[in-house]
Amino acid sequence: MSARVLPFAVALAAMAMVPLFSTSPFYVNLTSQVAIAAIGALGLNVLVGHAGLNSLGFAVFPGLTAYLVAWLSTVGGIDPVAAALFALGGTMMVSALFALVALRTTGLGFVMITMALCQIVWGAAYRWTSVTGGDNGLSGVPRPGGAWLPLEKPEYFLWLCLIVLALALIQLGRFFDSPLGVALRGTRDQPRRMGAVGYDVWRIRFVAWMLAAAWGAAAGLLYAWYHQFVSPHMMAVTASAEVLLMVVAGGAGTLAGPLIGAALVVLLKNLASIWIDRWVMLLGFTFVVIVLLMPDGIVPGFSRLTAWLKRLRPTPAPKLVPRERADG
């Protein structure tokens, strides 16, 4: 157990210590962005990696929460923490309704229906100008906290993001090991057999959907607090595709994959552009390389690479032990 936890603990501790070494808050904020993206990617990984349901509308969960918390805490004038609770609750209710529609399908149908659901909410955010501000979005979203917890400061906000990320890793790690998690992978690989054996496939998928929605909502909440601004762009098809890219590039179905995928995408997007003008091309090129060399993603790719290297290393020749000849 501890051997499995160790790499995650080291990674999170390293992220938490960025403020101690960074000369400017820029890198602290960048680390927060990695953490927020990772929480979202971990949520989507439940669907893509473990339920075998490829969603191209994941951005609807963070989007709903971000809009709800932004609206409630600016126009609604509610305290940020209360607004957050209402936003999370509201997102879960809408997600449950969406599940009734989306979980009727699998495969390509599921891809299209999730995309359509996300487009509906995107359209509402874009067109319902009197409430959502249209494409100008909602700005001035307050962060919670106060004198005792100055979340306005980048380092405190980073630590909040990391705590949520740690909770996500622990909860999802335990879930994947649980009988329900195993059953979920069963519905991914053999849905008809699972049904025949007596599992309620729909309900298992519903749990996975709600779990994905919950972590997506958490990511959306942090997103709204981090940017203090929401706009329909966060629910565009490209935003959903980006989360999917993180999961696929990192390695769907693994716990570390979404984390690494999120770090890769966020850092390539925001750090590479400082030095390279054509950073969009670099992004594309990187993913082509990943798909060519490690079609399952980085994490499975590396474990395969280490296994391959082990095989390459000449195994010590068996020691020749002079055997007593029977007839000697």
Partner 1 sequence: MPTLTKRTVACSWLAATALSALAALPAAAQQPPIKVGFMTVRSGALAAGGKQMEQGMEYCLAERNGMMGGRKVELITVDTAGQPATTKTRAQELVERERVNAIIGPLAAFEALAIDDYIRQVGVPVISPSAAAEDLTQRKQNPWFVRAVGTSAQANHALGEYAAKDLKLKRVVTIGDDFAFGHEATAGFQRAFEDNGGKVVQKLWPPLNVADYGSYISQIRTDVDAVYAAFAGGNGLRFLQQYAEYGAPVKVIAQMTTVDEGILKSMGKEAVGVISSGWYTATQDVPGNKEFAAGIRAKYGADPGYYTAGAYAACAFLDAAVKAVDGKVEDKQALMKALRSVKLEKGPYGEVTLDEYGNPIMNVTIRKTEEKDGRLQNVVIKTYPKVTQFWIYDPKAFLADPVYSRDYPPAKNLGQ
Nearer to partner 1, 126 or 176 (CB): 126
Three-state SS at 145: coil
Question: What is the per-residue DSSP string for 146-186?
Answer: -SSS-TTSHHHHHHHHHHHHHHHHHHHHHHHHSHHHHHHHH
Segment 272 to 301, residues that bind partner 1, using CB under 8 A: 273-274, 277, 279-280
* Least distance in angstroms from the C-beta of 266 to partner 1: 9
- Taking phi over 0 as left and psi of -120 to 50 as alpha, with beta for the rest, 209 belongs to alpha
Whole-angstrom Cα Rg for the chain:
23
Q: Which two tokens stand for residue 37?
A: 């993206």
- Secondary structure (DSSP) of 271-308: THHHH-TTHHHHHHHHHHHHHHH-TT-HHHHHHHHHHH
Rounded CA separation 99/113 (Å)? 10
Q: Which of 183, 169, 251, 211 is nearest to 4 (CA)?
A: 169
Residue placing its CB nearer to partner 1 in the complex, 135 or 177: 135
Work out whether 171 is an interface residue with partner 1 (CB under 8 A). no
Q: Which is nearer to partner 1, 187 or 240 (CB)?
A: 240
21 binds partner 1 (CB under 8 A): no
- Number of residues near partner 1 (by CB under 8 A): 30
Cα–Cα dist 227/140, whole Å: 9
User: Closest distance between partner 1 and the C-beta of residue 98, in Å?
Assistant: 24
Instruction: Please identify which residue in 2, 108, 130, 189 interacts with partner 1, judged by CB under 8 A.
Output: 130
Does residue 153 belong to the site contacting partner 1 (CB under 8 A)? no
Binding string, residues 79-118; x marks residues near partner 1 by CB under 8 A: ----------------------------------------
Quick one: which of 18, 72, 221, 234 contacts partner 1 (CB under 8 A)? 234
Least distance to partner 1, CB of residue 292, Å: 24
CB of 99 closer than 8 Å to CB of 206: yes
Q: Which of 4, 127, 174, 304 lies at the binding interface for partner 1 (CB under 8 A)? A: 127
Smallest gap, in angstroms, from Cβ of residue 70 to partner 1?
12
> Which residues contact partner 1 (rule: CB under 8 A)?
24-27, 29-30, 33, 127, 129-130, 134-137, 139-140, 152, 227-229, 231, 233-234, 269-270, 273-274, 277, 279-280
